Amino acid sequence: MDKTHKNIEYAETIALQALEFLLGDEELKAEFLSISGLSAQDIADGFNNPEFLGGVLDFLLQNELALIAFCDRVGIKPEEPLRQRYSLPGANYDY
Which phi and psi (to 5°) does residue 12 adopt? -65, -40
In this prediction the pTM is: 0.88
Q: Give the mean pLDDT of the chain.
A: 91
Determine the pLDDT at residue 6.
73
**Nearest CA to 63 among 94, 32, 85, 23?**
32
The pLDDT of residue 3 is above 70: no
Judge whether residue 26 has pLDDT over 80.
yes
pLDDT digits (tens, 9 = 90+) for 59-90: 999 999 999 999 999 999 999 999 999 999 98
Q: Label residue 4 by pLDDT band (50, 70, 90).
A: low
Kindly indicate the confidence band of residue 94, based on its pLDDT and cuts at 50, 70 and 90: low
Instruction: Looking at the chain, list the stretches that DSSP marks H as alpha helix, in order from N- to C-terminal side.
Output: 5-23, 26-36, 40-46, 50-61, 64-74, 80-85
